[in-house]
Structure formats: C-alpha cells, structure tokens
C-alpha cells in the first residue's frame, strides 16, 4: 500500500479533505475517545525554522493521542552538518512512525517523503503551509458551516500561506480573491494548480492589486506577515512596498457584516493588521491557532493510525 503524506493539500481528494475536517471536529469535541490511538508511536519533528504553534501543537497532539513527538532541530541533527536528506529519511524511517518537517526549500520535504518509508507532513516550507490551511478551513466551517459559494479574501504577500489557501479553497467550493502589491503576487506554479482545481470545482480565483475589491463580499479576510522567515533582510523594503495593504477596520467594513478576520500568526500589529482588527470582535485568530491542534490530531490519526475518513 502507498504510504500517504501531506506535502500539499492537493495530495488529498476533496472527499478526504472534508473527512479530515469532520474528524477534526470529532477530535475537538470528544478528545477522550482518541486518547490512546497513537500509543507506542513516535513522530519526528524536524525544524530548520522557528515555530511556536506548529511545534507545540504537534508535540502536544502526539502526547494527547498517547504517542510521542521528538523535536529535532536542524542545528542538532547531522542533517545540519551535511548528512544527506536521503540518508536522514531512511534512518528516521527505521525509528519513528512519521516525520513532520519545517524547511526552507520545499524540495527538502518532497525528498524526505521520497526517500523515507513513513508518512511525511509538511509543517511549512518556503512554498506551502498545508497544516495551516487545514486549521483555517476547519475554523471557517465552525463559523459558517458549509463554505460552498462563500468568498475568502487574502490581502498581503503572495507567500506559502496564500498558496495553500488558494489550493484548498476550491476543494471546499469557496471562491478566493488575493490582493498583493505588484511584484509580490503568488508563485505562478501554485496559481496554475489552484486555477485548475477551481475550474474543476466551478469556483473563482481572482488575483488583483486592490485590497478593497478583494474583500468586497468576503466572508473571511486573511492576511499574513509581509516578510516571511528567510526574508528578514527585505523587511524594510517590504514595509514600503506593502503600504496600503494593512487590514484595518475600514478595510474590514467592506467585507460582509458577518465576516471574520484570520491570520496564521505570528502577526505584527500596526503592519499587516491593525491592533483594532487583530484584537477586535471579528477576529478568530486564537480559535484558528487552537484549531491547529485539533486538525493535526485528525491528520495524525489518519496517517499514523489508519483512521478512516
């Protein structure tokens, strides 16, 4: 049987995605039921970049399911001293039952899955952040129920987070509008992938430079940092380029009255989002962060314990 991994949400069928979100809901409401499902199982957590939510939610999630998470910093692993990805993947496959990896190059996660014999979970690369998208759409289904026909607006940088949102939205019947400054559009490779999903699903994907047009009619407004991990040197330049792309109360007022605000976090109040919005009544950022735990527990149950979806 083919070992399943989650490198991109596109690795799932729309039915599997819906099944995972439904499982996440059961895991959240009845955590006791799943308490020892991963007893005796270990998940290796490889981090080349910093993390609060991803690290803690995976470690705690494994613990709550009766298993163990092993934090493996790139600074301590031999991988950081030049051991190959292929050898690392093959050796870890002899010890642990799954690998979660947060890396710079997307290819590193692809190669871990290619050379290993166990499930690999993408915990963020320069290209994608699929676990974030699972939690985000889980949060939206909690707020709105079925997402079919609703619109998600993303305002800001065309980065890993929006790539995963664009791929996932059509799978749940959602339209997505993305407003970025010129020169900061999402990567055309992922736009193409998302567009073909949207054609299949009959949903809309719009790329534009006007934040107000993007949020018009939206049920959710999403933003992320202007400089992602690895882009620290561009931060000052980006601060200038993204002027006018802050999600503030005036922009939120152009979305539907029931619209919620989402952010993967960490956020910078006063840059990509005003404090008034991040901490205001429409904000769901902390539910969203909590839902990383429940959505990933569902993912772990499916990948490591064969829970059916």
Strands (DSSP E) along 180-239, which ranges? 205-208, 220-223
The site for ligand CP (CB under 6 A) is made up of: 51-54, 124, 132, 264-265
- Residues 6 or more apart whose Cβ sits within 8 Å of residue 108: 48, 85, 101, 125
Taking the complex as a whole, the smallest distance from the CB of residue 147 to ligand NVA amounts, in Å, to 22
CA atoms within a 13 Å half-sphere pointing along the CA-CB vector of 56: 6
Question: Which residues are catalytically annotated?
Answer: 102, 129, 132, 224, 264, 292
Check: CB of residue 153 under 8 Å from CB of residue 179.
yes
Nearer to ligand CP, 53 or 163 (CB): 53
98 phi/psi in degrees, rounded to 5: -165, 160
Check: CB of residue 133 under 8 Å from CB of residue 8.
no
147 binds ligand NVA per the rule CB under 6 A: no
Q: Could you tell me how many residues of this chain bind ligand NVA (CB under 6 A)?
A: 9
Distance, in Å, from the CA atom of 68 to the CA atom of 59, rounded to the nearest integer, reads: 7
Q: Cα 68 to the chain's mean position, in Å?
A: 22
Q: One symbol per residue from 148 to 167: x for binding ligand NVA (CB under 6 A), - otherwise; what is it?
A: -----------xxx------
136 binds ligand NVA per the rule CB under 6 A: no
Distance, in Å, from the CA atom of 214 to the CA atom of 155, rounded to the nearest integer, reads: 7
103 binds ligand NVA per the rule CB under 6 A: no
260 binds ligand NVA per the rule CB under 6 A: no
Radius of gyration of the chain measured on its C-alpha atoms: 19
**181 three-class SS:** coil
Nearer to ligand NVA, 128 or 259 (CB): 128
Verify cis geometry, omega within 30 degrees of 0, for the bond prior to 266.
yes
**192 three-class SS:** helix
Residue with smallest beta-carbon separation from ligand CP:
54
**290 three-class SS:** helix
229 binds ligand NVA per the rule CB under 6 A: yes
Nearer to ligand NVA, 72 or 133 (CB): 133
264 binds ligand NVA per the rule CB under 6 A: yes
**Which of ligand NVA, ligand CP, none does 224 bind, CB closer than 5 to 8 A by kind?**
ligand NVA
Nearer to ligand NVA, 77 or 229 (CB): 229
**Which of ligand NVA, ligand CP, none does 225 bind, CB closer than 5 to 8 A by kind?**
ligand NVA
Taking the complex as a whole, the smallest distance from the CB of residue 265 to ligand CP amounts, in Å, to 5
Interface ranges with ligand NVA (CB under 6 A): 124, 159-161, 224-225, 228-229, 264
């Amino acid at each position: 049987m083919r070992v399943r991994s989650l490198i991109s949400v596109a690795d799932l069928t729309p039915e599997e995605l819906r099944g995972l979100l439904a499982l996440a809901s059961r895991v959240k409401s009845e955590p006791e039921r799943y308490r020892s499902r991963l007893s005796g199982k270990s998940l290796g957590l490889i981090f080349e970049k910093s993390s609060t939510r991803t690290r803690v939610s995976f470690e705690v999630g494994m613990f709550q399911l009766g298993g163990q998470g092993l934090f493996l910093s790139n600074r301590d692993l031999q991988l950081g001293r030049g051991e190959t990805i292929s050898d690392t993947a093959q050796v870890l496959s002899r010890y642990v039952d799954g690998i979660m990896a947060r890396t710079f190059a997307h290819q590193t996660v692809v190669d871990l899955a290619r050379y290993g014999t166990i499930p690999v979970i993408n915990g963020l690369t320069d290209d994608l952040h699929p676990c974030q998208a699972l939690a985000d759409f889980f949060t939206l289904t909690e707020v709105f129920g079925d997402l079919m026909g609703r619109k998600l607006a993303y305002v800001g940088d065309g980065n890993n987070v929006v790539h995963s949102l664009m791929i996932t939205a059509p799978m749940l019947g959602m339209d997505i509008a993305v407003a970025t400054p010129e020169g900061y559009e999402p990567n055309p490779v992922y736009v193409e992938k998302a567009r073909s999903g949207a054609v299949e699903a009959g949903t809309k994907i719009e790329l534009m430079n006007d934040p107000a047009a993007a949020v018009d009619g939206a049920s959710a407004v999403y933003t992320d940092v202007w400089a992602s991990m690895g882009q620290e040197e561009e931060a000052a330049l980006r601060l200038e380029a993204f002027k006018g792309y802050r999600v503030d109360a005036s922009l939120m007022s152009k979305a539907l009255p029931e619209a919620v605000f989402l952010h993967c976090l960490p956020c910078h109040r006063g840059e990509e989002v005003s404090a008034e919005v991040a901490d205001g009544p429409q904000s769901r950022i902390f539910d969203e962060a909590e839902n990383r735990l429940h959505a990933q527990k569902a993912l772990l149950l499916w990948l490591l314990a064969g829970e059916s979806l």
